[in-house]
Amino acid sequence: MGLCTSPEFATEVTLQPLERFPLDAAILFSDILTVPDAMGLGLYFAEGEGPKFERPLRDEAAIQALSVAPLEKLQYVFDAVTSIRRALDGRVPLIGFSGSPFTPACYMIEGGSSADFRHVKAMLYSLAGAAAPCAWHYRAERDGVSECADRCWRSGRANL
């Protein structure tokens, strides 16, 4: 997580490919799981296994107990965007990516990567059948995923 949570490191890692290759854009170095981490799930990286959560969501009560991630906990992402945009100075665009609400939800429920998504499938079937993915999307939107993405975009735009 050190590379993601340090704006200086994230800037350096984002810019390195541009120093080596004639690329059309820079890609923001971050992780799609920083928002669930800010929501209190305890993100860590296990060697040889990838990202994992200390507190996966295994039932509807755990999901209902989630609260909006305070944007202050993601300030390092906004600072990295600002730093990278300044360093790029218009040379190439800065692009980023995010998972659909379902991608982080899978990690949040499984507690890490999964070959069979056993916990996700069980939860989806137990909730509202075919309506469950819609409920996940609504919850993600309500809890500020879009607001976070918008603020990240604005942090770069405001410092051109």
Q: Which pLDDT score is estimated for 151?
A: 60
Which structure tokens are listed for 45?
């990286």
pLDDT at 133 over 60: no
Element (H, E) at 3: helix 2-5
pLDDT of residue 12: 96
Q: What is the pTM of this model?
A: 0.73
What per-residue confidence (pLDDT) applies to 90? Answer: 94
Q: What percent of the chain has pLDDT over 70?
A: 78
Q: How confident is residue 159, by pLDDT bands cut at 50, 70 and 90?
A: very low
| 3-state secondary structure at position 114 | coil
Q: How confident is the model at residue 43 (pLDDT cuts 50, 70, 90)?
A: very high
Q: What is the DSSP letter of 51?
A: E
Q: Which amino acid is it at 62? A: A
DSSP single-letter state for residue 112: B
| Residue 155 confidence (pLDDT) | 61
Query: Which of 15-19, 45-49, 103-107, 138-142 has the highest average model confidence (pLDDT)?
Result: 15-19
- Unique residue bearing structure tokens 């296994």: 49
